[in-house]
Copies of this chain bind each other. A is one copy, B any other.
Amino acid sequence: MKKVYLDNVSTTRLTVEVRQAMLPYFDENFGNPSCVHEWGDIAKEGIESARNQVAQLIGGTAEEIIFTGSGTESNNFAIKGLALAHQKKGKHIIISAIEHFSVLHSAKTLGKWGFDVSLVPVDKYGLVDPEDVRRRIRKDTILVSIMHANSEVGTIEPIEHISQITKESEVILHTDAIATAGTIPVNVQKLGVDALSLASNQFYGPKGAGALWLRQGVRINPLIDGGVQEDGRRAGTENVPAIIGSGKAAELAYDSMTTRIEHLVNLRDRLLSEIPSTIDHVVITGHPKHRLPGNASFCIEFIEGEAMLMLLNSKGIAITSGSACTSRALKASHVLIAMSIPHAIAQGSLLFGFGIDNSSEDVDYVLEVLPPIVEKLRQMSPLYSKFLKRGK
């Protein structure tokens, strides 16, 4: 059976070069970077060169990169660590309504610790209005965190404009760039942010390798206390092979970004235009223009996402959905709901995430396989029969 992986939003497959770069560190280069001997030196040199590669990807300096165990950890570290380090100035933070759970729930935890959290809404395209951020900034606001792009609907946020506002108010700005770093150009200076999260498994690097870029001089409290690794800001024996892999993946992403983007945009645009013209009652979610290159997201009306995923999987196609049934919490995606998409429609969420290995044939295959699946499920759907009888 044909196999088509179109879930590069959830994670990506390591490129051969990345895997090759990592392998010696599972073998003879297995040392602990903190140690005073040759094995330690080799490991240390490896992670320092990876630090340079990651710094280069986002226009920062090596000393500003703190390696973590995941994008989620980077976000927790940023939100909690920055809030705790600056709480003397105030206890108010601002995030958007469509942040990833790792930001949302970190903010919720801060709420339990006596912080006050304001949510910034988004429009129907998932876009934050910078003026909405400005309106929420108070004397005691210490931190704003707005994601660079939302991976579920692909919308890219106007971080450059938001950073002008946070700079004026001298408030720290963090951005979750996990969906963008390594995929589209990300430059911390241009963005004007103070902290930025990224994760290597989003750009053909390994899992277990996140990073937080933190502008020189910005104080932060560690999330993970212990030894002096990562300059005392993130303790624990470094995951050397994963860090090496993230460095290599960053280098490759930096070098081939333009061609990668072009490739993805072609595939994405075909799907964005052809699915709605092949299947009735489809809503495109996310912004038409300010959009991640590999992201094609839809809601298919009258049917539910998980059932579609399962039938697509039976045809060898892997994608994801923001439906309530695919979430363990059994709630429709907070992102779609924040974009004012009705619950019933949000249930039909489908998210195609193209990657560098995908081809135009993959799009053909989706366009061949998806319509009969939609048809089969609609034939089973009481909502569809009601619609056919009475209209919406």
Look across to chain B and name the residue whose beta carbon is closest to the beta carbon of A25.
Answer: B207
Look across to chain B and name the residue whose beta carbon is closest to the beta carbon of A100.
Answer: B226
Within 8 A of B (CB), among A200-232: 201, 206-208, 210, 223-228, 232
Binds B, one of A36-44, A52-60, A116-124: A36-44
For the complex formed, measure the closest distance between the CB of A46 and the CB atoms of chain B, giving whole angstroms: 12
A193 within 8 Å of B (CB atoms): no
**Pick the contact of A72 from B3, B208, B224, B316 — CB < 8 Å?**
B224
Judge whether A13 and B37 touch: CB under 8 Å: no
Within 8 A of B (CB), among A275-327: 306, 309-310, 312-313, 316-321, 326-327
Judge whether B32 and A75 touch: CB under 8 Å: no
Look across to chain B and name the residue whose beta carbon is closest to the beta carbon of A328.
Answer: B228
**Pick the contact of A70 from B28, B100, B109, B239 — CB < 8 Å?**
B239
**Pick the contact of A32 from B11, B14, B28 — CB < 8 Å?**
B11
Judge whether A226 and B7 touch: CB under 8 Å: no
Q: Note all chain B residues with C-beta closer than 8 A to A306.
A: 36
> Cα distance A295–B236 when bound, in Å?
21
**CB 8 Å contact bits of A324-353 with B (1 = contact, 0 = none):** 001111000000000000000000000000
Q: Note all chain B residues with C-beta closer than 8 A to A70.
A: 69, 224, 236-237, 239
A7-B207 contact in complex given A27-B19, A76-B226, A237-B201, C-beta closer than 8 Å? no
For the complex formed, measure the closest distance between the CB of A357 and the CB atoms of chain B, giving whole angstroms: 11
Total interface residues in chain A, CB < 8 Å: 74
Judge whether B235 and A102 touch: CB under 8 Å: yes
For the complex formed, measure the closest distance between the CB of A295 and the CB atoms of chain B, giving whole angstroms: 16
Judge whether A224 and B76 touch: CB under 8 Å: yes
Judge whether B235 and A105 touch: CB under 8 Å: yes
Judge whether B39 and A5 touch: CB under 8 Å: yes
Look across to chain B and name the residue whose beta carbon is closest to the beta carbon of A207.
Answer: B239
A380 within 8 Å of B (CB atoms): no
Within 8 A of B (CB), among A143-192: none
A251 within 8 Å of B (CB atoms): no
Within 8 A of B (CB), among A89-107: 100-102, 105-106
Judge whether B227 and A101 touch: CB under 8 Å: yes
Judge whether A223 and B225 touch: CB under 8 Å: no
For the complex formed, measure the closest distance between the CB of A326 and the CB atoms of chain B, giving whole angstroms: 6
> Cα distance A34–B306 when bound, in Å?
13
A238 within 8 Å of B (CB atoms): yes
Look across to chain B and name the residue whose beta carbon is closest to the beta carbon of A234.
Answer: B72
Q: Note all chain B residues with C-beta closer than 8 A to A313.
A: 36-38
A247 within 8 Å of B (CB atoms): no
Look across to chain B and name the residue whose beta carbon is closest to the beta carbon of A11.
Answer: B32
A108 within 8 Å of B (CB atoms): yes
Judge whether A236 and B329 touch: CB under 8 Å: no
Judge whether A225 and B106 touch: CB under 8 Å: yes
> Cα distance A28–B223 when bound, in Å?
33
B-binding residues in A (CB < 8 A): 3, 5, 7, 10-14, 19, 22, 26-28, 30-32, 34-40, 68-73, 75-76, 100-102, 105-106, 108-109, 199, 201, 206-208, 210, 223-228, 232, 235-242, 306, 309-310, 312-313, 316-321, 326-329
